Structures are given as structure tokens and as C-alpha cells.
Amino acid sequence: MRFRSVTLLACVLAMAGYSFAAEETPLLVQDPTLSKTEIVFAYGGYLWSVAREGGNARQLTTGGHEAGPEFSPDGKWIAFTGEYDGNVDAFVMPAGGGEPKRLTWHPGADSLVGWTRDSKRVLFRSGRTAYADFDRLYTVPVEGGVPEVLPMWRGEDGGYSPDSTRFAYVPNLRWQESWKRYRGGQTTPVYIVTLSDLSLEKLPRENSNDFAPVWMGDTVYFLSDRNGAVTLFAYDTKTKSVKQAVENKGLDLKSLSAGPDALVYEQFGGIYVYDPQKGESKKVDIRIAGDLPATRSHFEKVGDKISGAAISPSGTRAVFEARGEIYTVPAEKGNVRNLTRTPAIAERDPSWSPDGKSVAFFSDESGEYALHVVDQTGLGTVKKIDLGKPASFFYSPTWSPDSLHRQAVEPVVCGRGEADGRAGESGYGSI
């Protein structure tokens, strides 16, 4: 069955509701990088530049497929990951803006990591020569050319020491990045390799998730969840000791980059500059004014975004979840019906009642997922059933044969207190 329906998307953020200075209204900026005078970051799929002290941001790219920018150490270039030609590759452009130049041409994904210290080569990761599901680190000249692989047999992220004799890196792919305080066998350590003899030094840890290492002087800064929420730590390469640089009682820090005299990181859609000399962080006030075409109301094809499905009892229609909406579609003739028409709300896991009259699904309209039941025609009042606060999400609503009761799966975390990373068990509840 070909599903070619479209849905009308509402604006994610109404311009009249913007309050740039308000802490509760994050801009959702990502991947900041720092030079002596500017911060470049990703927002809405584009790269933007703003003065280090904050202010009005200037849009640098218009492709809509840019991420992970990194200033060159001399501040003259910005390298980033782009997807202009149907493939993910490393690109470079002048720091002040200009035409992006493609540096990698392999059909697999090549993602920007950083720079060599002399600003002559761009560092990226790629699985082009890996025999399994991992990446290696490569450098390519800023003017383009043949990439050269680093000697480590695997690597996902990293950076050179100031004298380029050592390299701090993460060998393993971060598995399930959003899984809080994961302590399984795929946690990520940080290593320092001496490039002349490939001797290794492992940063002290107890099975925490450590990542995003950057050098400043004799110190390797990195992000870690070893004390709870992901925050900034510092490893002194002389004393071999680790200390926490930023106290974090909020949400995880998501990215880290080093500039000539400071660090910059992302937290809850905001950008912060950390001064190593003072040991202090300061939030950067950023104001963005742009057309942002993706946020205006428009029609969107969702046929290739189906993530849930069920068949009606008669087999004449099917119900689908696509991009947070619930649709029913005829097997042969008829119209597609949008049962929810709530583009600002996420609905998922549709289930058709055995009598064919109703469709149940989960909705986050109230802020917590609740069970909603609608007439299969899309008409009438929506029945909303409060499920309380779950340990995680609810899954797989299933009807009783008489169509009077519904059953949902709710994960129950093993152990006491907060989730400790062990596998959960599924609990079933009937409503």
C-alpha cells in the first residue's frame, strides 16, 4: 500500500512568543565553537555566528544541512559536517562566511571532528576502511586532497596536544547517547596516545561515559557523567589527576569545544563560555532573526515517516502513526483520514478496537503520555484517560475482545531509587 498523505505542520515556536533572555525559552542552539572574537553554532540546520559577548547572530549558511562546526586554530576557517550532495561529508569555509568547499568524497558518512594544530588539515571520522561497525580518524588538507588515516585502529572523537605529539581520543562509539547513567560494557573511556610510539595512557575512571576531549595547555578537558549529570571535567597530564571543573545540578552538557583561551559548551539549548583561569562559566545571550522556513506552517509528506501501524478488523483500512499524527488509510478506495490534527502534539502506537469502532493511541497533549480513544471516523469527542507518571513511556495498547478495556505496557525499573542502568522489566496494566 502506498501512503502518500500530507499533514499541515504548525509553527514550533510562534514569533510572538519568543523571549530570548528568558531561561525557560531555550533557543536550541547546538555544537558551538570558539575563536578569539566569535562563536559559531548550529541552529535550525544552518550555521550562525555571534560575537563572544553575545548579541544578534548572523547566518553563515543557507543549505539547511550543516552541523558540528569547528574553528581552525588560527581562526581563519570553519570546518563542519554538511549534506549538500546527498551524502554526509566534511566541508570547510572562510570564517567570515563564503562558499563551502567539500573535502571528502567517500560514499559513506564522513563527519567533522576538528583540526590539526597548524590549521593545515581537517580531522574527521569515517568507517570507510573499518571491517565492522566502528570508525577511524583521518586528516585531509584544507585545500583538498587524499585523506590520511591516524595510526589508532579505531576512533570517534579527539584532539591534538598543543605540541601535536599526543592525541586525546575516544575509541568507542557512544551507544545510546540519551540513556542516562548507562554503565554497561559499551561505556566510553578517553585515551591519550603518544603518536611517536603509540603508547597509551587511560584517563582515570570507573566505567563512566567520558567523551569530547579537548586540550588546553597541559590539561585535557572532557565531558563525563561520572558524578551524575554530564558535566565538565579536567585531567592534569602532569599530576595524573581528574577534577570536576563545572558543578552541574541540571541537564547534561551536550558538546564541548576549545578556543584559544576558553572553552565553549552547550546545555539545554544554550551556549556557555568557560574561563579556565577563573573557573567560571558565563551564558551567552544570543538573538536570532531569520526567515527559518522550516518553522512556518507548510505541507509535509509523511509517507516515508511511518513508525506504527495496525489493521482494522475488517481489513478495509489500516491505521498509521507518522510524524506524531494518527491516520487511517483505505486498502483500495477512499480518503486518508487524519484522526488527530494536532501538529504540536506527539501521538503514537495506534491500536484498532476489535469492533472496528475506535482507535486508541498515546498522546503527550497534557505533558505526560495519556491514553486517547477516538472514533475511527475522526468525528466526535476524544476520550482521554490519565495514566499517571510512568517509569518510562507506555507502549503497545491492546484491546480486550469485547472492545471495552485496553491494556498498556509500562516499563518498571529494577532496583531502588534512580535508574541504575540495569535492564528493566515490563509491567502490564488494564484500563
Q: 320-358 pLDDT, tens per residue?
A: 999 999 999 999 999 999 999 998 899 999 999 999 999
Banded pLDDT at 407 (limits 50, 70, 90): low
Percent of the chain with pLDDT over 70: 88
| 8-state DSSP, 164 | S
Percent of the chain with pLDDT over 90: 73
Which residues 6+ apart lie within 8 Å of 178 measured at CB? none
In the prediction, which pLDDT does 410 show?
Answer: 57
What residues does CATH 2.120.10.60 cover in the chain? 21-287
For the CA atoms of the chain, what is the radius of gyration? 25
Highest mean pLDDT: which range of 184-193, 392-401, 407-416: 184-193
In the prediction, which pLDDT does 25 show?
Answer: 55
Banded pLDDT at 174 (limits 50, 70, 90): confident
Amino acid code (one letter) for 394: F
Can you spell out the DSSP letters for 196-235?
A: TT--EEEPP-SS--EEEEEEETTEEEEEE-TTSS-EEEEE
Residue positions counted in the chain = 431
Banded pLDDT at 2 (limits 50, 70, 90): very low
Task: Burial-class residue 351 by CB neighbours within 10 Å (0-12, 13-18, 19+).
Answer: buried
Sign of the CA dihedral with 206 first, then 153, 231, and 18 last: negative
- Domain 21-287, CATH: 2.120.10.60
Report the distance separating Cα 48 and Cα 230, nearest Å.
Answer: 25
**Residue 267, H or E segment:** strand 263-267
pLDDT at 20 over 70: no
Report the distance separating Cα 324 and Cα 346, nearest Å.
Answer: 4
Segment 362-380 shows an average pLDDT of 93
Report the distance separating Cα 203 and Cα 77, nearest Å.
Answer: 31
Q: 86-106 pLDDT, tens per residue?
A: 899 999 999 999 999 999 999
On average, the pLDDT of the chain sits at 87
pLDDT at 32 over 90: yes
What residues does CATH 2.130.10.10 cover in the chain? 296-430
Banded pLDDT at 415 (limits 50, 70, 90): very low
Report the distance separating Cα 191 and Cα 210, nearest Å.
Answer: 10
C-alpha cell at position 285: 545571550
CATH architecture of the domain with range 296-430: 7 Propeller (2.130)
Q: Which residue has the higher pLDDT, 16 or 405?
A: 405
Q: Which residues pair with 10 in a beta bridge?
A: none
- Give the pTM: 0.77
Can you spell out the DSSP letters for 353-417?
A: -TTSSEEEEEE-TTSS-EEEEEETTS-SPPEEE-----SS--EEEEE-TTSS-EEEEEEE--SSS
pLDDT at 19 over 50: no
Long-range contacts of 201-204 (CB under 8 A, 24+ apart): 203/235, 203/242, 204/235, 204/240, 204/241, 204/242
Q: 238-295 pLDDT, tens per residue?
A: 999 999 999 999 999 999 999 999 999 999 999 999 999 999 999 999 999 877 777 7
